[in-house]
Structure 1
Amino acid sequence: MEMYLISVIFASILIIPFAIKTLSPYLWLDILYLGHMLHIVVKCVSRRRRPCFFVLDRFLEQTAAHPDKLFIVFENENYSFTYTDKRSNKTANALQSHPNYKAGDTVALFMGNEPAFIFTWLAMAKLGSPVALLNHNIRTKSLLHCFNCCKAKVLIAASELKEAVEDVLPSLIEQGVTVLLMTKHSDTPGIEGFSDKVDEASDRPLPRSLRSHITFKSPAVYIYTSGTTGLPKAAVVNQNRLLTALPVLSSNGVMSSDVIYLYLPLCHTAGFIIGFIGSFETGSTIVLKRKFSASQFWNDCRKYRVTVVQYIGEVMRYLCSTPKRENDKDHEVKLAIGNGVRAEVWREFLNRFGNIRIREFYASTEGNVGFFNYVGKIGAVGRVNFFHRMLFPYTLVKYDTERDEPVRDTNGLCVESPKGETGLFVSKITDIAPFVGYAENEEQTERKRLHNVLMKGDLYFNSGDLMRIDKDNFIYFQDRVGDTFRWKGENVATNEVSDILTISDCIKEANVYGVQVPGHEGRIGMAAVTVKESAQFDGSRIYNHVVSYLPSYARPHFIRIQNAVEVTGTFKQIKGKLVEESFDPERIQDPLYILDNEEKSYILLTAQVYTAIISGNLKL
């Protein structure tokens, strides 16, 4: 009998793990993820001490612990933690000695990916100054708008952006803004050379008292995001948000010995918060690139022995589109972290480049809830679990795409989408999941707040994203709602582009939308326009106009001339049929133009050009 009982117990011990794996195959991964989340929560709570602990303090800890460790690799230059610390001290001391600056003033940083960006941001953090991260692609009105959003007192710009600064200089001078250019000398009145002053400044540490006024709710950076309407909005990222993001790399297994390949723009959330700020926690080395290059990507990874890369979906596709080589799997990359990769590209990437852990995530600059696909389920952005949902309540609600608003019941409450059906992702605004909003833009901040969702008086963040949860509790991104599409990894606000087009000499109305192009991620910009009376469409003038006002990713690639823009009974522009017809000259009787950068004009789109685009022979 005893032997029988022992046999039963022993058999049960062996069977239970197999039963769990069959009935609940992701249980152990869920438990492991739960452990990571608890670790992050405990670490964040432990850092809420006096004096306040910020991300800068973590950088200073790493510098003290590993002073000679390599922190930044850039082209042929190497910078240790100590050098980075001292160079940022010199930058801070140089700025502090300027008569028009006082510690704590907001500073706008207008630079691409280069070490000076990192040195300057650290300097501002040491001085207690919030920093507006201006996209180095923006120009003229957009540049001035973004600068004015944050009420900055100082603009620090890279030397190669001198002409862009000169375009808006009269307005900056009128506002009394101090303009500093990262060059030794400047022959433009109103623009001061700054790099020589940094070279000559002391590298003595900055006293902590300069940032004694900062709290966890104080703005740390302003990161610009295109929403559904208007010009770019400055999302306020406070000190607490940065501190919460510190463990994002370490929670995915990244360690001090890892080398991170950082080519995504530092002015954007992924590059700045995940790649740059995330490395503070791990103490990893950053290989910094000015921009992405598909042809150089794997050679760089081999040269610098990169182990961690970031991505957006378009990057994965570009890499998979490069010519196949025998050494495609000859690298040390073990982890790729990012978002927006399609399932078929995901599979192709793994098949071609080897067993790399893909950590797809979902998040937005201003959003209050995100997901990590810790299981590695191809196509999913994350996984729903009880603990995560308890800490950060969220749901999917039915959405009326015709009326462009959530469906509500007779009580005025939103209707939750059943599992398996697509719905609008909304997340509850709470003390631990706040929505800070946009600087100097209460109207757009309020547009992202959704009232009376599941009960009267509740308040949710409207992500503007359509999602779906399957029967296994994996969550998938489906599409964006409203007037935003995504191209080249950037969100494009159609109303912003429409506004720019209609201030031109010949365009009266413009209906802007995104259309799909075979072989490309996202949607490329297209506009259906009407021409002003007694005016003619001038392709060269419109080309010069959009180049002056819009970054390359936001410029409409196709323009369709119509007699009238079709609207609904409530005067909303109708886009559905236009999107369906796309840019096919066989389906469209209206005059159809394509942007041609070589001709510096919009030229007629012929059937031959259309065929070349569809076949993939002509890349956009």
Structure 2
Amino acid sequence: MNWDWLCGSGVFTKESRGASHLLCIKLLFLGATPLVLIIFFHHLTPSDTCRHTALCKMYVWFTLLAGLAILPLFLLKTLKSLFPYLGEDCVYMLRSLRLGLRLTKYKKIKPFYSIVDCFLDAVRRNPRKTFLHFEGRAYSYEEVDKQSNQVARALQATAGLKEGDTVALFLGNEPCYVWLWLGLAKIGCPAALLNFNIRSKSLLHCFSCCGAKVLITSAELKDAVEEVLPTLQAQDISVYLLSETCNIQGINPLSDKISQASDQPLSRDLRANVNIKTTALYIYTSGTTGLPKAAVITHERLWAASFLQSVSGVTSEDVFYINLPLYHSAGFLIGMTGAIERGITIILRRKFSASQFWDDCRKHNVTVMQYIGETMRYLCNTPRKDNEKNHSVRIAIGNGVRTDVWTEFLNRFGDIKVRELYAATEGNIGFINYTSKVGVVGRANFLHKKILPYTLIKFDIEKEEPVRNAQGLCVEAARGETGLLVGKITKISPFSGYAGNQQQTEKKRLRDVLKKGDLYFNTGDLLLIDRDSFVYFQDRVGDTFRWKGENVATSEVADILTMVHCILEANVYGVKVEGHEGRIGMAAVTLKERETFDCSDTFKQVANYLPAYARPRFIRVQPCLEMTGTFKMKKVRLVEEGFNPADIKDPLYFLDPEKKAYVPLTEEIYAAIASREIKL
């Protein structure tokens, strides 16, 4: 084969030149040109006898070069069709690698570079930039820095705080929450973030398990603290109120001490012993059983959680809207410390308001919002308006939203990147949906699994335990099969456990999973990974339910119910309600001999000792409770049967907050709940 063949065969004759042009163009756009012509050209031997040799060479070279230029586009198109999420996967992995390298650097450098140091750098870079906006008042980075200096000095002088002392914060969402924590962090003191809904026994438990000797609260929560004050005083606990004055003996005013303290910078030596493994916070979680547990949040975990904004695409120019409680890991870790890591502005609200949400976003040019599943649903339930898509929100970060609500939210409020995530406060494994796929909590990829090893294992719902083979090892779930998510406990992905609760810490550790001697963290959650590597949250196992964005331990609710005079035993569980996120509380109870169900007394008990989201809204009175062979209460059938009076013969009761009592659950009430005429 040679150049003469091209010319002699008539390829470049006058008659066929037009067809040749067309052939070259077709080859060019087919994308196969480079490969074909490279092989073809390699076998050609130029001949001086061909009068069209130069023209032939020109055609071949032109087509070859043009084809090579187009080849990358062709390959990209092919890859895109075969791997539609390749680009997003690569961006996510590159961001994760970059952030992982940063965290590795922080682990090694001395002195340790903490989130507080990151905040101080932001103060130096942009002292006048608004860090926090709350109820019409803006606070610059410099102002918040000075306020936190005053807090640190006042607590040193008044409470005698020193590095390592734990302080409990019992507060609602307000600016002082931020500078109180920063002030404590500047002197190396970890903070315990107490849920402001808890009372009595739960409040005392949460306070005591973190080992705190100081409690700081606000005026609106003074009554709750006063209720347990005798016990606190007996334990020699110092209680401080964010007020100029206080007439209650045993509660000391703190605001006057803060305002009189110096706002000058503090020495870094005051936190000289703080390192990546030091406890930064205690955040409370219901976990699977018992009273709330204090999850230990180290500085390493604090950094890792703060990176979620960066992974989601948040930049230093964004404005972040926080309406979730700051005692939550979502509001505090992802929201507040994430904002510090990015150096951005926070818009803080006391609590979520569906009616004011979008007005707030427009007023403050909010670009990033947080949500839980209920947030999205409440927003979708608001009356439609013409200006619903008139806002600057581009990213939403959160968890727990149903697919139908997610779709409706996007249809109504525009093209917002929903970054649905899966994580646990104390867990060592998580996922985030960095794609536009609706209904998933993330994607499985080799890099993620290499750095943070995890697996899904088969789980027996009836026995409430992992399925094991003849060798005593767990059985991995197949692709497309629901399984229990477990994360391998390693130096890179540790499980720090619960403060003062070794028993519950051990319960979350799962041994001999894939091989003898290995150790995994048991998330207690069922997930599914499909054949396209998308991760779906399926359900929660164990003795918890999630309602209004809060995890509720069923045993805690059962303990409160059995304090009611008429109730002998209580089996608490969560049931689904059509059109609502999560599961609402329900209890099957047995009564003491010769007792009838006391509707009023039961209401008083749950109202006095449980926050609204934890109160069982439905009660089912049974002659006896079903038990397993190991005397554990059976719940699966009860959960499946729900609360429809048409299907259940046992007496059913509904918690009516207006009547302040439990009332018989009629089919009319059930219909009103189903139609959302009665709001839960």
TM-score scaled by structure 2? 0.90
The answer on whether the counterparts of 1:399 and 1:405 sit within 8 Å (CA) in structure 2 is: yes
Aligned counterpart for 2:663 among listed residues 603, 607, 610: 603
Deviation at 1:32, TM superposition (A): 1.3
The answer on whether the counterparts of 1:101 and 1:153 sit within 8 Å (CA) in structure 2 is: no
Does residue 614 of the first structure (1) align with residue 645 of the second (2)? no
Deviation at 1:472, TM superposition (A): 0.6
Map 1:566-577 → 2, pairs under 5 A:
566-577=626-637
What is residue 137 of structure 2 aligned with on the other side? Answer: 77
What is residue 348 of structure 1 aligned with on the other side? Answer: 408
The answer on whether the counterparts of 2:362 and 2:392 sit within 8 Å (CA) in structure 1 is: yes
Deviation at 1:291, TM superposition (A): 0.6
Secondary structure of 2:307's aligned partner: helix
Aligned counterpart for 1:15 among listed residues 63, 68, 74: 74
Does residue 127 of the first structure (1) align with residue 175 of the second (2)? no
Q: Quick one: distance in 2 between partners of 1:426 and 1:62?
A: 37
Residues 55-114 of structure 1 deviation map (CA, whole Å, 9 limit, x = unaligned): 100001001110010011100211111110111111111111015543431100000110
Map 1:156-167 → 2, pairs under 5 A:
156-167=216-227
Q: Quick one: distance in 1 between partners of 2:652 and 2:310?
A: 51
What is residue 420 of structure 2 aligned with on the other side? Answer: 360
Structure 1 residues 100 and 172, CA gap change in structure 2 (3 angstroms): farther
Secondary structure of 1:39's aligned partner: helix
Aligned counterpart for 2:457 among listed residues 379, 385, 397: 397
Q: Quick one: distance in 1 between partners of 2:553 and 2:515?
A: 31
Deviation at 1:598, TM superposition (A): 1.4
Root mean square deviation of aligned Cα: 1.2
Q: Quick one: distance in 2 between partners of 1:240 and 1:387?
A: 20
Structure 1 residues 418 and 76, CA gap change in structure 2 (3 angstroms): same
Does residue 40 of the first structure (1) align with residue 40 of the second (2)? no
Deviates most, 502-511 or 53-62: 502-511
Deviation at 1:336, TM superposition (A): 0.4
Q: Quick one: distance in 1 between partners of 2:93 and 2:626?
A: 51
Aligned counterpart for 2:253 among listed residues 193, 205, 208: 193
The answer on whether the counterparts of 1:518 and 1:616 sit within 8 Å (CA) in structure 2 is: no
Does residue 438 of the first structure (1) align with residue 498 of the second (2)? yes
Map 1:208-607 → 2, pairs under 5 A:
208-607=268-667
Q: Quick one: distance in 2 between partners of 1:582 and 1:353?
A: 34
Q: Quick one: distance in 1 between partners of 2:72 and 2:193?
A: 56
What is residue 147 of structure 1 aligned with on the other side? Answer: 207
Aligned counterpart for 1:105 among listed residues 154, 159, 165: 165
Q: Quick one: distance in 2 between partners of 1:418 and 1:604?
A: 45
The answer on whether the counterparts of 1:111 and 1:158 sit within 8 Å (CA) in structure 2 is: yes
Structure 1 residues 11 and 276, CA gap change in structure 2 (3 angstroms): closer
Secondary structure of 2:262's aligned partner: coil
Q: Quick one: distance in 1 between partners of 2:307 and 2:530?
A: 28
Q: Quick one: distance in 1 between partners of 2:642 and 2:231?
A: 40
Secondary structure of 1:97's aligned partner: helix
Secondary structure of 1:104's aligned partner: coil
Residues 120-167 of structure 1 deviation map (CA, whole Å, 9 limit, x = unaligned): 111110111110000000000000000001010100001110000011
Gaps of 5+ in 1: none
Secondary structure of 2:655's aligned partner: strand
Q: Quick one: distance in 2 between partners of 1:120 and 1:507?
A: 43
Residues 295-333 of structure 1 deviation map (CA, whole Å, 9 limit, x = unaligned): 111111111111100011111111111111101101010
Q: Residue 239 of structure 1 aligns to which amino acid in structure 2?
A: H
Secondary structure of 2:158's aligned partner: coil
Secondary structure of 1:189's aligned partner: coil
Deviation at 1:11, TM superposition (A): 4.8
Q: Quick one: distance in 2 between partners of 1:201 and 1:466?
A: 51
What is residue 204 of structure 1 aligned with on the other side? Answer: 264
The answer on whether the counterparts of 2:246 and 2:253 sit within 8 Å (CA) in structure 1 is: yes
Residues 580-612 of structure 1 deviation map (CA, whole Å, 9 limit, x = unaligned): 221111122222111111111111122211110
Q: Residue 204 of structure 2 aligns to which amino acid in structure 1?
A: L
Q: Quick one: distance in 1 between partners of 2:130 and 2:167?
A: 28
Q: Residue 242 of structure 1 aligns to which amino acid in structure 2?
A: L
Deviation at 1:615, TM superposition (A): 1.3
Deviates most, 109-118 or 372-381: 372-381
Deviates most, 262-271 or 602-611: 602-611
The answer on whether the counterparts of 1:307 and 1:335 sit within 8 Å (CA) in structure 2 is: yes
The answer on whether the counterparts of 1:328 and 1:352 sit within 8 Å (CA) in structure 2 is: yes
Q: Quick one: distance in 2 between partners of 1:556 and 1:29?
A: 43
Q: Residue 574 of structure 1 aligns to which amino acid in structure 2?
A: K
Deviation at 1:577, TM superposition (A): 2.3
Deviation at 1:222, TM superposition (A): 0.2
Deviates most, 100-109 or 304-313: 100-109
Deviates most, 585-594 or 508-517: 585-594
Q: Residue 156 of structure 2 aligns to which amino acid in structure 1?
A: Q
Residues 516-551 of structure 1 deviation map (CA, whole Å, 9 limit, x = unaligned): 111111110011101112333221111111111111
Q: Residue 437 of structure 1 aligns to which amino acid in structure 2?
A: G
Structure 1 residues 99 and 324, CA gap change in structure 2 (3 angstroms): closer
Deviation at 1:568, TM superposition (A): 2.1
Deviation at 1:10, TM superposition (A): 4.3
The answer on whether the counterparts of 1:92 and 1:123 sit within 8 Å (CA) in structure 2 is: yes
Secondary structure of 2:178's aligned partner: helix
Q: Quick one: distance in 2 between partners of 1:71 and 1:7?
A: 53
Deviates most, 196-205 or 417-426: 196-205
The answer on whether the counterparts of 2:455 and 2:476 sit within 8 Å (CA) in structure 1 is: yes
Secondary structure of 2:361's aligned partner: helix
Deviation at 1:391, TM superposition (A): 0.6
Q: Quick one: distance in 2 between partners of 1:214 and 1:76?
A: 36
Q: Residue 619 of structure 1 aligns to which amino acid in structure 2?
A: K
Deviation at 1:12, TM superposition (A): 3.0
Q: Quick one: distance in 1 between partners of 2:602 and 2:570?
A: 13
Deviation at 1:19, TM superposition (A): 0.7
Q: Quick one: distance in 1 between partners of 2:345 and 2:464?
A: 45
State the structure with more CA Rg. Answer: 2
Q: Quick one: distance in 1 between partners of 2:599 and 2:183?
A: 46
The answer on whether the counterparts of 1:96 and 1:103 sit within 8 Å (CA) in structure 2 is: no
Between the two proteins, the alignment pairs up a number of residues equal to 620
Q: Residue 386 of structure 2 aligns to which amino acid in structure 1?
A: E
Map 1:49-68 → 2, pairs under 5 A:
49-68=109-128
Deviates most, 419-428 or 24-33: 24-33
Q: Residue 557 of structure 1 aligns to which amino acid in structure 2?
A: R
